[in-house]
Amino acid sequence: MDTSDRPARLNVGVLGAGRVGSVLGAALAQAGHRVVAASGVSDASQRRANDLLGVDLSRPDEVMRKAELILLTVPDDVLPGLVSGLAATGADLRGKLLMHASGAYGLGVLQPATDVGALPLALHPVMTFTGRGDDFGRLNGCTFGVTAPEQLRPVAEALVIEMGGEPVWINDRDRPLYHAAVAGAANHMVTLIAESQDLLSRIGVEHPGRMLGPLLGAALDNVLRLGITGLTGPVVRGDAETVRKHVDALILAAPEAADAYIALARLTADRALAAGLLKPEAAERLLDALGGNIWT
């Protein structure tokens, strides 16, 4: 792809050449921007910087000096201190685009840098990155949660499109709830499926993933197409005795899993009742099986 005639090609720096930063930097480079520096502390970061970004690791101050667009791709808990530290060093941030990829944070975390002239962007890819070779390809068609000052919105959305993504605007005040929704769906799904695989392994199922795959694929397709009306299973059928047997078995085999099952069954019953999928009398029977009030 020839990008030489595109305007506003930027020098890009990556502060935190981890799983996310290296992939985003590589995507920007493919769009014609120039990755000029990256920082990191691990051997893995060094490999990613070499392999994906084509640079050696530099000191953070070198990244700041060389770059016009700076990716702050560090863990969420590190981000506030990093931004405050950058502002406190007296580095010249005037006119530099400062972008983080955190879902939970919005523009507020960048305020110390904004106060000294940086241009803040919050671009969160709604994707999981494992550090494997297929991470880069996952950006194609990936949604990004975009938050920026209104005057920078065109810039933010253009960067996402150049990385192969689809920008979706998220109001700054809604970032925590937005992130809870997407992280809860992806992360908790992994935990639930891993727990199910472990339970099946305990009773001698040799390939639990093979058993679960078609079921989970159909369930995911149902919910994405139909929402809560795609729900199936004993809760929506009101099969209280089946649910009670599930709880009893889990209490014996995996008490921590039983707690999660009960909480999710209550939420499932509550949503099914609200949607008219579960009759009130069936909900009452489920209430006994689950040992608590399912109405919220």
φ, ψ (nearest 5 deg) of residue 286: -65, -35
Residues belonging to the chain: 296
Domain extent listing, the chain: 11-170, 178-290
Q: Pull the structure tokens for residue 170.
A: 């998220």
What pLDDT is recorded for position 91? 85
pLDDT at 4 over 60: no
Pairwise CA distance, residues 134 & 87, whole Å: 35
pTM for the model: 0.87
What pLDDT is recorded for position 20? 93
Average pLDDT over residues 33-58: 91
- In a 3-state reduction of DSSP, which class is residue 128? coil
Task: Name which of 124, 125, 103, 122 is nearest 111 in CA terms.
Answer: 122
Average pLDDT value for the chain = 92
CB proximity list for 18: less than 8 A, separation 6 or greater: 40, 44, 45, 48, 73, 74
Average pLDDT over residues 170-181: 96
What pLDDT is recorded for position 292? 54
Q: Are 262 and 247 a contacting pair, CB within 8 Å?
A: yes
CA distances to 10, 21, 157, 238, 247 from 36, rounded to whole Å, are: 10, 14, 22, 60, 56
pLDDT at 295 over 60: no
Average pLDDT over residues 89-106: 94
Q: Are 44 and 74 a contacting pair, CB within 8 Å?
A: no
Pairwise CA distance, residues 105 & 154, whole Å: 20
- In a 3-state reduction of DSSP, which class is residue 143? strand
How many CB atoms neighbour CB 157 within 10 A? Answer: 19
Q: Which amino acid appears at position 204 of this protein? A: G
Q: Are 55 and 113 a contacting pair, CB within 8 Å?
A: no
What pLDDT band is residue 24 in, cutting at 50, 70 and 90? very high
- Please tell me the CATH superfamily of domain 11-170, with its number: NAD(P)-binding Rossmann-like Domain (3.40.50.720)
Pairwise CA distance, residues 118 & 113, whole Å: 5
pLDDT at 1 over 80: no
pLDDT at 65 over 80: yes
Average pLDDT over residues 182-198: 96
What pLDDT band is residue 124 in, cutting at 50, 70 and 90? very high
Chain segment 232-277, per-residue pLDDT in tens = 999 999 999 999 999 999 999 999 999 999 999 999 999 999 999 9
Average pLDDT over residues 63-76: 95
Annotation: CATH topology of 178-290:
N-(1-d-carboxylethyl)-l-norvaline Dehydrogenase; domain 2 (1.10.1040)
Q: Are 103 and 182 a contacting pair, CB within 8 Å?
A: yes
Q: Are 61 and 39 a contacting pair, CB within 8 Å?
A: no
